Amino acid sequence: MTNHLFDAFRARMPAPERPLMRTDDGRALSYGDMLTRSAQLAHALTRLNVRPGDRVAVQVEKSPEALMLYLACVRAGAVFLPLNTAYTLAELGYFFGDAEPRLVVCDPARAVDIATLAAKSGADTATLGRAGEGSLMELASGQPGDFDTIARRPDDLAAILYTSGTTGRSKGAMLTHENLASNARVLVDEWRFSAGDVLIHALPIFHTHGLFVATNVILMAGASMLFETKFDPARIVSLLPQATSLMGVPTFYVRLLQQSGLDREAARNIRLFVSGSAPLLAETHRAWRERTGHAILERYGMTETNMNTSNPYDGERRAGTVGFPLPGVALRIADPEGGGGVLPAGEVGMIEVKGPNVFAGYWRMPEKTKAEFRDDGFFITGDLGLVDPDGYVHIVGRGKDLIISGGYNIYPKELESEIDALPGVFESAIIGVAHPDFGEGVTAVVVRSPGASITAEDILAAIAPRMARYKHPKRVIFVDELPRNTMGKVQKNVLRETYKDLYALPVR
């Protein structure tokens, strides 16, 4: 009996006493502990009536136990469904209703509210806190330390990660065991990870970057992590000498560059800095190289596809590009208009990808899934790009109306719907404007209803209980009318141009 993903990790597991992680509060976990804890948690899940194929929705703070819960789901054949800790109850309600989890695991502090919400979708609730407290570990600690890992095939689901929809509803990207295993294997090889590596892990573990790219690579290499619950730039600089690698979003690198202690000496033991999730400015790449002597390796991925491209480990890491398609990934640039014919090298078009990394479709949305795949199996990413004469892929824009702030995605439509529904608002447009810290700053351009006097504070107060904090506009601007083209469509490019210097001064 094989479990495709877990067996892949196990096959490369080092001796049980080897370290898997050390946390910022001084806890240590070995690979042997990983086997025991994930087994106990898998028993606990079974006791809580989680059966193979059932979804386990998890909104908890980052902790070793939270990571073990991911592995326990894999071992129990369940589908892991991680959720951003910033999501409000209103946002959670949608995910529970759509995914119909068997079990919801949440922070003890939110247990009462979430249990009520979960029950409406027929789910039970267990709790897990930052320090491992709560009902889940209480149940798990009494369970045996070995578990007959449930058989799962390569195309069985391992996880569902929600990605916001351009037209409203979030879509659950269904990721299979093979999606995750194949991508982790490729990244270990491409980025030369081995058992001796120590990764500074300061990303959240509810998204692809921190959960799959960072953690799966470490598990697949038998390496270890310095597991940080929060991104604290001063602390990260102090940890650099103990590590060999760091993975982060561009905001990490921007903030680390503001630390006086960041220099070649601090980075002396590092062999690889990786950036992704959002565009890394060429100036950040250059400044980093000057300060540390290292060229950041930029790569490109999506929730739906895991990682698609990477700059080379050996060879030139070209700033402003995302490198070459990874082994096994076919990438092409297609005509975004019309039939999607393949464009010649150098021309800008829609990036399309195909490979073992590409997801199995959107949960219970066959029509949306069909619309985002070509007949020959290529997935339409929504990113606009080109391939230069040397084969480097450049992302030059987005066909989808998406803002990426500090590595988090915000879909304007979702915010616009909330703001437009407020009394006193006639209409609104949400745009991303260049921001020195977050890359793009969410900005609301609002037209008041005739005679209304609604303020920015009123708008922010109204969305606060409904939407995660990181989605909130950093600025609200009132205008008399929105610019429109002859078809009546709001010209967001005009708005972006008008407000391009809004955040020009450093905010931190």
Which stretches of the chain bind ligand AMP, using CB under 6 A?
163, 208, 276-279, 298, 300-303, 322, 381-383, 395, 398, 404, 409
DSSP codes joined into one string, 381-403? EEEEEEE-TTS-EEEEEESS--E
CB atoms within 10 A of CB 68: 27
Residue 189: its H or E element: helix 177-190
User: Looking at 405, 446, 459, 495, which residue binds ligand MCA (CB under 6 A)?
Assistant: 405
Exposure pattern of 224-239 as b/e (b: 16+ CB <10 Å)? bbbbbbebebeebbeb
CB of 284 to ligand MCA, least distance (A): 14
CB of 503 to ligand MCA, least distance (A): 12
Residues in contact with ligand MCA, counted by CB under 6 A, come to a total of 21
CA–CA separation, 437 and 447 (whole Å) = 28
The two beta strands, 349-354 and 379-387, are antiparallel
CB of 349 to ligand AMP, least distance (A): 15
- Closer of 48 and 319 to ligand MCA (Cβ): 319
CB-neighbour burial class of residue 501 (10 A; exposed 0-12, middle 13-18, buried 19+): exposed
8 Å CB contact between 8 and 180: no
Residue with tokens 């892929």: 393
Binding partner of residue 406 among ligand MCA, ligand AMP, none, CB cut-off 5 to 8 Å per kind: ligand MCA
Residue nearest to ligand AMP (CB): 303
Binding partner of residue 210 among ligand AMP, ligand MCA, none, CB cut-off 5 to 8 Å per kind: ligand MCA
8 Å CB contact between 307 and 299: yes
Binding partner of residue 383 among ligand MCA, ligand AMP, none, CB cut-off 5 to 8 Å per kind: ligand AMP
CA–CA separation, 395 and 389 (whole Å) = 15
- Closer of 102 and 394 to ligand AMP (Cβ): 394
Binding partner of residue 454 among ligand MCA, ligand AMP, none, CB cut-off 5 to 8 Å per kind: none
CB of 46 to ligand MCA, least distance (A): 30
CB of 405 to ligand MCA, least distance (A): 4
Q: In degrees rounded to 5, what are phi and psi of residue 125?
A: -125, 140
- Any contact of residue 408 with ligand MCA (CB under 6 A)? yes
Residues 218-277 that bind ligand MCA (CB under 6 A): 231, 249, 251, 276-277
Residue 41: its H or E element: helix 31-47
Residue with tokens 């491409």: 190
CB of 308 to ligand MCA, least distance (A): 9
Binding mask 427-466 for ligand MCA (x = CB under 6 A): -----------x----------------------------
- Any contact of residue 469 with ligand MCA (CB under 6 A)? yes
Residue with tokens 């895991």: 306
- Any contact of residue 279 with ligand MCA (CB under 6 A)? no
DSSP codes joined into one string, 94-162? HHHHHH--SEEEE-GGGHHHHHHHHHHTT-EEEE--TTS-SHHHHHHHTS-S---PPPB-TTSEEEEEE
CB of 223 to ligand MCA, least distance (A): 19
- Closer of 204 and 361 to ligand MCA (Cβ): 204
Q: Smallest Cα–Cα separation from 334: which of 322, 321, 324, 347?
A: 347
User: Looking at 42, 137, 200, 203, which residue binds ligand MCA (CB under 6 A)?
Assistant: 203
CB of 253 to ligand AMP, least distance (A): 12
- Site residues for ligand MCA per CB under 6 A: 203-204, 207-210, 231, 249, 251, 276-277, 301-303, 405-408, 438, 469-470
